[in-house]
Amino acid sequence: MPIQSSVEIVDVTKDPKYERFLYWCIFHTKKEFIGKSIHKTYKHRYEYLKTMIPKGFRKKVLFYKGDHVGMIEYAPVEASGFPIIGENVIVMNCIWVHKRAAGHHFGKLLIEHMMEDKKGTTGFATLGCEGFHRVYVKKDDMEKLGFYSLKSMKVKHKGKKKGGCFTIHLMWMPVVKNAKLPTWNESKLMEGLYFCEHHPLYHGKHGCAELRFILEKH
């Protein structure tokens, strides 16, 4: 049987049936959410979704033989989770394909799905990390998917969880020839991110209310 016939890409953005997929990374998706309401537990995420879904945020989950093994989320710059600036640019907040599903080109499939969904854009942007102590959102992974680094900044974490230097890259995948290049708001980036509590640059993991900037330039 061709692999495509066992693959389904589902929009989990609006259907309450998929709410847990909106709040958790697919690999942390528990069957039932136990305890406090999901909105109270993930309040930054809740605020982000409430504001940005109407502005074009989308999250898609890839099911392979009924098993959720991949996801991608993206939004127009004005609704994205990263402080990226650009004209008619779509920002990919996150992509993840589980190792157990590697080798099926699901990453590329999710990218193609996003490109088809957001036809008419000048290009796609995201962030990639290099030299970060955790293996998430690596620049190399983004390169495998077709992005290249436009600019970068060497940083270090301040606050609760310090750690070594690493480099953040603004990654770009143009669609239109001679597209105007995106950039980022450096000061906002140093504050950290709020859209996802599992993201390595999540403010809450490294900062606290008193610490506005969780990163410092190195």
Ligand X SMILES: CC(C)(COP(=O)(O)OP(=O)(O)OC[C@H]1O[C@@H](n2cnc3c(N)ncnc32)[C@H](O)[C@@H]1OP(=O)(O)O)[C@@H](O)C(=O)NCCC(=O)NCCS
- Options 45, 118, 157, 199; binder of ligand X; rule CB under 6 A: 199
Q: Does 94 bind ligand X (CB under 6 A)?
A: yes
**Run of H or E residues at 51:** helix 43-52
Strands 123-130 and 89-97: parallel
Q: Does 24 bind ligand X (CB under 6 A)?
A: no
SS3 125: strand
Q: Name the closest residue to ligand X (Cβ).
A: 107
Token pair of 47, please? 């605020």
Toward ligand X, which CB reaches closer, 144 or 180?
A: 144
Beta pairing partners, 70: 62, 97
CA angle 115, 166, 174 (to 5 degrees): 20
**How does DSSP classify residue 187?**
H
String of contacts with ligand X for each residue 108-137, x by CB under 6 A: x---------------------------xx
**Total of residues contacting ligand X (CB under 6 A):** 16
Toward ligand X, which CB reaches closer, 52 or 127?
A: 127
By the criterion CB under 6 A, which residues form the site for ligand X? 94-97, 102, 105-108, 136-137, 141, 144-145, 198-199
